[in-house]
A = this chain, B = another copy of it.
Amino acid sequence: MDPARAAALLDFLALADRLKTVERRGLVPLPGGGARRENSAEHCWNLALIAVLLHREVAAEIDLGHALSLIAVHDLVEIEAGDTYAYDPAGRATQAERETAAAAIVFGALPVDLGRTLRALWEEFEAGATPEARFAMGCDRMQGFLQNVLSDGAAWRAHGVTRADTAPRMDPAMAVDPAFATLIGALYGRARAGGMLPE
């Protein structure tokens, strides 16, 4: 590796570090009680762990390296665009435009070949047309739902989210594979039993 390429990679990693300071609405329970907001970097690790656990539980043949690559890069645009809450219609309306502008900055900070590779991974995740992109989407939505269940539905409650509100996000995730349907169905059961998510 030539020194200019090494320097560019290290500068990109300094930028990417900021994903650890992008806060999501979901909460992480703390050992001593209480909770704090989850950040997008730890969310990405959580998806990777779910993908490792589930890739052989689904019917589709999943290229795990490809799925985990999609997962590692899928939220990088949030460094510039911030996290957009699933249940924020105003934020959702401008999300695509903001994230496309962010992609030019974030992936443009890499050496050209790697910038193209990572941008293609992000676009593939967003398009959701390949088995790996659909699998990663299932992991992503299941993780967000799980995080709410782990924190007693506090973020749902704070934003007045109902079970009906979650359907447009969770139905496609349940449709990825019967394994996701079973897992997400079980999470709905826990949310209902805990009175976390009104009808």
Q: Which residues of A contact B (CB under 8 A)?
A: 1-3, 6-7, 9-10, 12-14, 16-21, 28-31, 38-39, 41-42, 44-46, 48-54, 57, 63-69, 71-73, 110, 114, 118, 121, 146-147, 150, 178-179, 182-183, 185-187, 190
Q: With contacts A13-B46, A68-B72 known, what are 11 further pairs, Cβ within 8 A?
A: A3-B182, A3-B186, A6-B186, A13-B50, A13-B53, A17-B28, A17-B147, A19-B42, A19-B45, A41-B41, A65-B65
Q: Which residues of B contact A51 (CB under 8 A)?
A: 72
- Chain B: which residue is nearest A28 at the CB level? B20
* A108 vs chain B, min Cβ distance (A): 15
Q: How many copies does the complex hold?
A: 2
Contact B16 A49 (CB under 8 A): yes
Contact A48 B21 (CB under 8 A): no
Contact B57 A72 (CB under 8 A): no
Bound-state CA distance A63–B63 (Å) is 11
Contact of A48 among B72, B147, B185, B187 (CB under 8 A): B72
Contact of A6 among B14, B121, B182 (CB under 8 A): B182
Q: Which residues of B contact A44 (CB under 8 A)?
A: 45, 48
Contact of A183 among B10, B19, B185 (CB under 8 A): B10
Bound-state CA distance A18–B28 (Å) is 8
Of listed A21, A41, A46, A71, residue having the most chain B CB within 10 A: A41
Contact A73 B49 (CB under 8 A): yes
Contact A17 B72 (CB under 8 A): no
